[in-house]
Amino acid sequence: MEISTLATYHCLAFVWYSFVAYSIIHIRTEERPSEVFLYGGQWKYLTVLNLVLQAVFYGVSFLADALRLIKTLRCAKCVISSRDLLFSVLAFPLSTFVCISFWTLYSYNRELVYPKSLDRVIPFWLNHAMHTAVLPLALLEILALPHRYPAKRKGLILLGFVAFLYISWVLWIYSVTGEWVYPLFALFSPPGLAAFFAGSLAIIVSFYNFGEFLNRMIWGQSKF
């Protein structure tokens, strides 16, 4: 794509994700199901955190495009490196995981991840904006331009660290409230839950590798 076209695309994606994140974060307090929005509010849900991440990523991408357009190449290189690291390690793997894991569990038993009470406050379009559109947009980003992936060790350490932070946040919420972020977790014994978290991390790592594979097949790749 031409830089101007990329800038337009990234700007629109940034506005879209900002709007979706704003819409879910600012659900009116009196409309929130009491059994869902407890301690931690919306910030305990991976879906909402992913929306904010995507908004940040596309904001950084638009900034990189703008710097290239005005020929500020030294600053652009630094921003582009941040953009590629965000996309490769977090934006693509998490979007893919959110979409596939959500709809898999939703199809099996929606009450495990998205209680029916949420239908009263979250419109149909917003549900799909959070859980469906994230994957095609991530794939479109791979098709739109090449991204430099970090060395595998570095990428996986960063991804694992972020996963550790989120799992710690989930466990902290349970220790404070006695309620799990997702009802699904209540079905597991402690060893079973540890195995579930380990399996989820393995799936996210596979999505990281899949994104790297697609990027290499379409564009070729150089390492950081």
What six digits make up the tokens of 168? 């710690």
Would 209 be classed as within a structural domain?
A: yes
Compute mean pLDDT per 10 residues along the chain, 224 residues long, and list them.
89 97 76 58 91 97 91 82 95 97 94 87 92 96 93 95 96 91 92 96 96 92 51
140: CB partners within 8 A, 6+ apart: none
pLDDT (0 to 100) of residue 41: 78
Would 117 be classed as within a structural domain?
A: yes
- Asked whether 51 and 45 are in contact (CB, 8 A), the reply is no
- Asked whether 179 and 38 are in contact (CB, 8 A), the reply is yes
Q: How many domains does the chain have?
A: 1
Would 172 be classed as within a structural domain?
A: yes
pLDDT (0 to 100) of residue 79: 92
Would 32 be classed as within a structural domain?
A: no
45-57: b (≥16 Cβ within 10 Å) or e: bbbbbbbbbbbbb
pTM: 0.91
Would 224 be classed as within a structural domain?
A: no
Q: State which residues form the domain around 120.
A: 3-26+39-219
The Cα–Cα gap between 13 and 118 comes to 26
Q: Find tokens 């079905």 and name the residue.
A: 187
Would 109 be classed as within a structural domain?
A: yes
Would 171 be classed as within a structural domain?
A: yes
Would 176 be classed as within a structural domain?
A: yes
The Cα–Cα gap between 205 and 160 comes to 9
